[in-house]
């Protein structure tokens, strides 16, 4: 299947971009940064082509026409990897912080790798309850938010490493390659401040869709509950960072806890979520 070949090609390029990103982190050679961006950009093109091939196969079923193929674990993971790669590409184009690729691109390769190695790429007709315009909005917004939060987590990792370097009596060369603490802290805050409203909008749209299908907007199933906890952690981060003016490790740890909850939301809650279970093919 063309989708599979293109997805493997994109995965190979994302993995190569990761290797180049680590090379740039270690020696800050401009050639490594350019190689990272070239392979990431080419991987994005192949990934978009794979998504287009999946869309064509998905739309071959008349009942699926005009809906996005994100109703399966493969489709959700593949789209999230695509959004992750695109988000980093945009951030890099604006901020020129290629050194952060070593902290972010592994999530891109990991997400797509999990999709092509463990998930079923086949498509089929949508269940009747999923044939709604909300399918093109609710999960897409949430997975785009997840991708942005993953970028913020990568920035947090870089921030903690830089802080440790600065407090060391003998900082390594890495200290001079990473962006300043202020730059990392500011970028982390801006990403989360932009993304939390997206998450809340996505949850609100899901509540409306749930009310249309099941007659009530919220059922407190594991995925819904964990999504709400995730939003609470990121809301707490924004309060600490901008409401009370705290800086340093505490807000960073809170935002990282939010990302941990996000991972449980997407992966862990799948195993017990009756209404949101991609893994179970629901």
Question: Is the CB of residue 226 less than 8 Å from the CB of residue 261?
Answer: yes
Tokens of 156: 């947090």
Whether pLDDT at 251 is above 60: yes
The pTM of this model reads: 0.87
Distance CA 82, CA 111 (A): 9
- pLDDT digit string (tens) for 138-158? 989 999 999 999 999 999 999
- pLDDT digit string (tens) for 94-136? 767 667 888 889 999 999 999 999 888 999 999 888 888 999 9
Comma-separated ranges of CATH 1.20.120 domains in the chain:
1-131
| Mean pLDDT for the chain overall | 88
Distance CA 19, CA 141 (A): 30
Longest CA pairwise span in the chain (Å): 66
Q: Which CATH class is domain 1-131?
A: mainly alpha
Distance CA 33, CA 89 (A): 12
């Amino acid at each position: 299947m063309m989708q599979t070949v293109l997805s493997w090609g994109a995965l190979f390029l994302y993995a190569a971009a990761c290797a180049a990103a680590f090379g740039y982190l270690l020696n800050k050679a401009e050639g490594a940064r350019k190689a990272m961006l070239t392979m990431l950009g080419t991987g994005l093109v192949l990934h978009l082509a794979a998504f287009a091939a999946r869309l064509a196969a998905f739309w071959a079923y008349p009942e699926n026409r005009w809906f996005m193929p994100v109703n399966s674990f493969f489709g959700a993971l593949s789209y999230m990897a695509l959004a992750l790669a695109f988000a980093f590409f945009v951030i890099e184009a604006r901020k020129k912080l290629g050194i952060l690729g070593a902290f972010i691109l592994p999530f891109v390769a990991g997400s797509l790798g999990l999709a092509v190695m463990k998930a079923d790429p086949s498509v089929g007709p949508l269940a009747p309850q999923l044939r709604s315009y909300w399918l093109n909005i609710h999960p897409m917004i949430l997975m785009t938010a997840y991708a942005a939060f993953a970028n913020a987590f990568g920035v947090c990792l870089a921030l903690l490493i830089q802080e440790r370097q600065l407090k060391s009596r003998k900082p390594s060369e890495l200290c001079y390659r990473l962006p300043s603490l202020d730059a990392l802290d500011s970028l982390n805050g801006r990403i989360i401040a932009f993304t939390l409203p997206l998450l809340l909008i996505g949850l609100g749209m899901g509540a409306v869709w749930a009310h249309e299908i099941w007659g009530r907007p919220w059922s407190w199933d594991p995925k819904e509950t964990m999504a709400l906890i995730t939003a609470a952690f990121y809301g707490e981060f924004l309060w600490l960072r901008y409401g009370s003016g705290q800086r340093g490790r505490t807000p960073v740890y809170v935002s990282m806890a939010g990302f941990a909850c996000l991972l449980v939301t997407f992966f862990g809650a799948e195993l017990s979520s009756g209404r949101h279970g991609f893994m179970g093919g629901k």
